[in-house]
Amino acid sequence: MSDLHEKTSLPDPAAPWHHQAIAHVLQVFQTDEQQGLEGPEVERRQQFYGPNEIEAGRGRNTWEIFLDQFKNVMLIMLIVVALISGVIDFVELRANALPEGTVPFKDTIAIMAIVVLNGLLGFMQESRAEKALAALKKMSSPQVRVCRGGQFSEVKAAQLVPGDLMFIEAGSQLSADGLVLEAAQLQVRESALTGEANPVTKRICPVGLAADTPLGDRQNMVFSGTEVLQGRGKILVTATGMSTELGKIAQMLQSVKASQTPLQKRMAHLGKILVTGSLILVILVVVFGSLQVGNFSRIKELIEVSLSMAVAVVPEGLPAVITVTLAIGTQRMVKRQALIRKLPAVETLGSVDTICSDKTGTLTQNKMVVQRLETQDQSLRVTGEGYAPIGEFLSQDQNLNPTQHPEVQQLLRACVLCNDAVLKQDDQDWLIIGDPTEGALLSLAGKGDLFAEALQKEWPRLGEFPFSSERKRMSVICAMPNPDQAESTAAYLLCCKGSPELVLERCQTYQTATGIFPLQAEDRAAILQRNNEMAQAGLRVLGFAQRCLTYVPEAQAEVNAEQEMVWLGLVGMMDAPRPEVKEAVAKCRAAGIRPVMITGDHQLTAQAIAQQLGIATPDAKALTGLELSKLSQVDLEAMVETVSIYARVAPEHKLRIVQALQSRGKFVAMTGDGVNDAPALKQADIGIAMGITGTDVSKEASDMVLLDDNFATIVAATEEGRVVYTNIRHFIQYILGSNIGEVITIAAAPLIGLSEVPLIPLQILWMNLVTDGLPALALAIEPAEPDVMQRRPFNPQESIFARGLGAYILRIGLIFSVISIALMAYSYNAHPDNWKTMVFTTLCLSQMGHAIAVRSRTQLTLTSNPLRNPYLIIAVAATTILQLMLIYVEPLRLFFDTQRLSGQQLLICLGVSTLLFVWVELEKLVIQWYWAWKNPPKSR
């Protein structure tokens, strides 16, 4: 033990705790095995040990991130342009050939400033993206169930301290190292730590293991960063944060990396194409131009043209606008309760055409209230609301006292014993910690005066076969308080609850008030009939059974132990659909998205809920897990597009369903919460985990987390995804059209015999960054068009230039250049002193009209609400004012090499620049006429 730990009397996390006896470790950590640590002690330890966090390993340092920005091919080209331009200025300066009033190296400085600015911007965005992702990661960081001062609660993993009692179950991702105090079939995957892919079984080891036991064999310890695959456990936390085994190797951990979205990758590719294209063009201009001439000034002029073209072709503002759009999309989604974990999801959500959703908690409220209880003697209605254990048992509207009915009493007892939830009162409210299904059973038992605290002490649990979505049931083995007076001479009682069909299969007798009787075939049929009736009414039904045992079965002996049980009865609970889901389902349908329900629940319950929500018609058939497992993948693929309800499925079926849907070309969003849902979540195009009920493992595998577990949130996120994608298309359309126009205009100048370049690099940079950039940013935050959820989803395979976008950009680029070349030719002769400024101004102002018109491909600007996106109006107004300042404010004019335009010249520019706007509006009219012609109104 280190001096510091000795002084504070707090244990050293690094000690070999696996080697110590449990009792000793508890004593050293001063932890009460039942009560846990007291609140003030937790605080003291939090201060001493610090937060339970792993400091990220060393990633790239600030300089490296900054320098990485200059690996971009477009920026490299700009640097080359700046250098060449500098050399030319230098030569001219030496030869005293610089035109009068010209500031030397102006272009070089300006271009280099832009390059550095771009680098800084990229650097800031990258750092911000990393920070944002880390923050998002924190938001979805695991909650841990602990017991402190005898009270169960859920705390953030960061708040754990050595000495805490932590409870783990299938799906938990461990956030601290600890000693196993209780283990029920506890299996953990430790591959993150040891590389061992097979699950490791954990067990209690009262006296400790050998001191030199290697990490992978320490069965009495669990470690941070590993995942619980199965079972349940109670753990004494021994190490947190950097003291954990994971912390020790933290340097090896990769820091959070912002992955590039498909669009960002495509844009990087586009950058390369643009650069190559412009280089070819430059070579052509220089070669053909040089063939015609021999004097230096002409060659210099050609080089200037080339430099301008190279600058013009690079859409300098585009990467920033894309990053901002994705960031804003992520923020909008968080506001609507959808947390994006992987950035590409923002952009691809708009392509979702099938949403496969769990039922419980996503389509329904997951607030269970038991309404029916059926034993072989009694058919009871249960009253009461929420989780409050206040209500009555009514038999044909007569109040019934359950304490006077032993078979009802036994069923209620099983509800409490076979239960891992905690029911507690917080102020006036009754809350549950744990599974709502189990919470509802505790509140049911409370209505019959049976409470967990007393009963679980009286009947201590000695073993269990935990619940899993595959088994669809769970059992516990408890010691009987007074074996002699108990139902038999046996000393132990096994209580089982789960899917009624599966529990009933394992029963041979049934319990009544007067005794136990053999289950005949007709009894079974009657029970299943009652189960179906309840399920048809939309109730979630559980079956209960028990068995007296003379021994505590081994952990692996469930097949033998869960046999020959005595049937106790059925419990039916209502889990009402979420009110907002019906509307969300209708929205999906209008948007060409098919909702599919995939549930572990009974097919009739699933059908009833699906019908209430409009997911399926009353006659729609549900495919059960059993039927599905008999289908070949090919058969499943043949029917997967028509089935909307899958019931009684196991997690592995989910994977098959996603694969079948994908093989039919569907773009699938799939929800999941359990540990075994992870493969399906990874396979889905958008894997969605539940923020509240989801396991850590499912969150880790997902692209998006629903903070409110709500189906309607998926639909909202899809809508946002469509808006993001549409806006991205809008501003790409807007920006690239302008670049093409600029390049052609510049290239045309020497070809039509003009002696100078119309635009200098500085002006082009101004256009690309300011006059294109500001309105593009405004276009990026354009709100949803009213019909965004009335269109079909985007084809995920389509290129960003699909559906006419590429053609539009080329067309607009050509129109743009035709207009400016015409103006250039005219003004070169008519206004020889100011022609360059007139071209520059017209190009900039044309883009203002274009920004306003480009917002919709079909709706005329005059008929759209101008205030829908006030930012666009502000951006256009601000940019126009800035452009005028460049012409009329003396220092700016000198710097940007412009001339003061007369009123008449400015009017000409304004007039000509509206032509682009008029052209785009005319295109819309043509589209409208075309649609009207293709879809004539139906004659009556």
281 token code pair = 């063009």
Which one-letter amino acid corresponds to residue 174?
A: L
Task: Kindly report each contact of residues 416-419 with a partner whose C-beta sits within 8 Å and lies 24 or more positions away, as own/partner.
Answer: 416/441, 416/442, 416/445, 416/450, 416/451, 416/452, 416/455, 416/456, 417/455, 417/456, 417/459, 417/461, 417/476, 417/478, 417/493, 417/495, 418/474, 418/475, 418/476, 418/495, 418/496, 418/497, 418/544, 419/452
CB of 601 to ligand ATP, least distance (A): 4
Query: Of these residues, 164, 177, 353, 358, which one is catalytic?
Result: 358
Distances (CA, A) of 535 to 134, 361, 578, 672: 44, 17, 18, 23
Interface with ligand ATP in residues 875-904 (CB under 6 A)? none
Q: Which helix (H) or strand (E) holds 468?
A: none
Interface with ligand ATP in residues 473-492 (CB under 6 A)? 473-474
Tell me how far the alpha carbon of residue 878 is from its chain's centroid: 36
Residues linked to residue 645 through DSSP beta bridges, in sequence order = 597, 622
Q: Which is nearer to ligand ATP, 225 or 543 (CB)?
A: 543
**One of 232, 405, 413, 497 touching ligand ATP (CB under 6 A):** 497
Spatial CB neighbours of 210, under 8 Å, sequence gap ≥ 6? 19
CA distance linking residue 911 with residue 820, whole number of Å: 12
Asked whether the beta carbons of 69 and 78 are under 8 A apart, the reply is no
What is the x/- site pattern for ligand ATP, positions 601-640, by CB under 6 A? x---------------------------------------
Phi, psi torsion values for 551, nearest 5 degrees = -145, 165
**One of 467, 567, 667, 725 touching ligand ATP (CB under 6 A):** 467
CB of 461 to ligand ATP, least distance (A): 15
Interface with ligand ATP in residues 792-831 (CB under 6 A)? none
Handedness of CA 622, 624, 628, 631 (dihedral sign): negative
CB of 453 to ligand ATP, least distance (A): 20
Spatial CB neighbours of 674, under 8 Å, sequence gap ≥ 6? 170, 171, 469, 651, 695, 698
| DSSP helix/strand/coil, 25 | helix
Asked whether the beta carbons of 314 and 275 are under 8 A apart, the reply is yes
Look at residues 244, 144, 231 and name the one whose alpha carbon lies nearest to residue 182.
Answer: 231
Q: Which is nearer to ligand ATP, 304 or 358 (CB)?
A: 358
Q: Which is nearer to ligand ATP, 232 or 855 (CB)?
A: 232
Q: Which is nearer to ligand ATP, 347 or 435 (CB)?
A: 435
CB of 572 to ligand ATP, least distance (A): 11
**One of 174, 542, 684, 757 touching ligand ATP (CB under 6 A):** 542
- Asked if residue 499 binds ligand ATP (CB under 6 A), the reply is yes
Q: Which helix (H) or strand (E) holds 455?
A: helix 452-458
CB of 362 to ligand ATP, least distance (A): 7
CB of 458 to ligand ATP, least distance (A): 22
Tell me which residue has its CB nearest to ligand ATP: 600
Asked whether the beta carbons of 442 and 432 are under 8 A apart, the reply is yes
CA distance linking residue 119 with residue 20, whole number of Å: 56
Q: Which is nearer to ligand ATP, 543 or 761 (CB)?
A: 543
CB of 578 to ligand ATP, least distance (A): 13
Q: Which helix (H) or strand (E) holds 416?
A: helix 406-417
**One of 472, 506, 722, 729 touching ligand ATP (CB under 6 A):** 472
Handedness of CA 776, 780, 781, 785 (dihedral sign): positive
Interface with ligand ATP in residues 434-463 (CB under 6 A)? 435, 437-438
Span interacting with ligand ATP, options 497-505, 708-716, 787-795, 877-885, rule CB under 6 A: 497-505
| DSSP helix/strand/coil, 671 | strand
Span interacting with ligand ATP, options 91-99, 142-150, 469-477, 789-797, rule CB under 6 A: 469-477
**One of 330, 599, 727, 834 touching ligand ATP (CB under 6 A):** 599
CA distance linking residue 843 with residue 150, whole number of Å: 74
Is residue 358 flagged as an active site residue? yes
Q: Which is nearer to ligand ATP, 383 or 629 (CB)?
A: 629
Interface with ligand ATP in residues 394-413 (CB under 6 A)? none
Give the number of other Cβ atoms within 10 Å of residue 771's Cβ. Answer: 28
**One of 391, 402, 538, 600 touching ligand ATP (CB under 6 A):** 600
Interface with ligand ATP in residues 192-221 (CB under 6 A)? none
CA distance linking residue 329 with residue 728, whole number of Å: 11
Q: Which is nearer to ligand ATP, 440 or 815 (CB)?
A: 440
Span interacting with ligand ATP, options 204-212, 472-480, 716-724, 784-792, rule CB under 6 A: 472-480
Interface with ligand ATP in residues 341-380 (CB under 6 A)? 358-360
CB of 692 to ligand ATP, least distance (A): 12
Tell me how far the alpha carbon of residue 33 is from its chain's centroid: 38
| DSSP helix/strand/coil, 518 | strand
Reported residue count of the chain is: 940
Q: Which is nearer to ligand ATP, 332 or 413 (CB)?
A: 413
CB of 386 to ligand ATP, least distance (A): 19
Interface with ligand ATP in residues 77-106 (CB under 6 A)? none
# residues near ligand ATP by CB under 6 A: 18
**One of 498, 569, 572, 625 touching ligand ATP (CB under 6 A):** 498
Torsion of CA 793, 799, 801, 802, to 10 degrees: -50
CB of 429 to ligand ATP, least distance (A): 22
**DSSP annotation of 362:** T
Span interacting with ligand ATP, options 100-108, 453-461, 464-472, 635-643, rule CB under 6 A: 464-472
CB of 146 to ligand ATP, least distance (A): 21
Q: Which is nearer to ligand ATP, 562 or 601 (CB)?
A: 601
- Asked if residue 315 binds ligand ATP (CB under 6 A), the reply is no
Q: Which is nearer to ligand ATP, 499 or 738 (CB)?
A: 499
Q: Which is nearer to ligand ATP, 414 or 789 (CB)?
A: 414
**What residues act catalytically?**
358
Interface positions with ligand ATP (CB under 6 A):
358-360, 435, 437-438, 467, 469, 472-474, 497-499, 542, 599-601
